Structure 1
Amino acid sequence: MNLKLELIPVPVADIDRAKHFYAEQVGFRLDHDVRPGGPVRVVQLTPPGSACSVVLAEGLAGIAMAPGSLRGLHLVVDSIEEARAALAGRGVAMGAIQDLGGIKYSGFQDPDGNTWTLQEISGQR
């Protein structure tokens, strides 16, 4: 049995602001921005090189969460220094790099306060 994690809801207050942040500043690919009917809007974005996407949605009670309540999503990178510099160059406020004995981390948050962590594991790639 395969179990593929392919979509993670990210709770935001303003979809347009979040869409700009993830697509323009962080560099996620915009897969679609649709309004299938009524009050429903679905924006799906995918990090470069990932098979898992995020969804920003409104009008979908089944995935509703408080904006900014998501913590610690990890983006695994080959070089944390390069990834951190690229994001900082796009205006993303980055945390310092922490080295925990071969695993390096640097964090950031979206405009709503959802937190993300860049992770580099030495010798894993």
Structure 2
Amino acid sequence: MTMISRARLGNVNLLVADVARAQHFYERAFGLVMDASRSAPPHMLILGAPGCTLSLKAAQTEDVGKRTGPGSVELGFETQELEAVHAALTELGAFVRAIEDQGFGRTFDARDLDGHHLVVYTLSPENR
């Protein structure tokens, strides 16, 4: 089995019905601040929190009432060993999508063995 070093939990994604409403709530309640360079309003915002980020993503209409609808959580894992984590999850029997290049770095989506959504990513040097 492929062995990897520890991955740091760097982001939690919340699927929400109204991104603007959720932004207002988390900014007012906890003092989180939007990271404009990594956000894609109005469908996705990233709020800075000490040691982690909180992403607010618009749940799709077809997601309502499913595990991926409002109230669901995605776990985002930041790693410098993206390919190794991809291989390890594949070997463990997780559902794993292909690695993609994004504006913030490289990423892939996966589902753990219970169906929870995982986002694994490596930030590009300018986004670290």
Q: Would you call these one fold, judging by a TM-score over 0.5? A: no
Please tell me the TM-score bracket, short chain as reference: 0.3 to 0.5
TM-score, normalised to structure 1, is 0.41
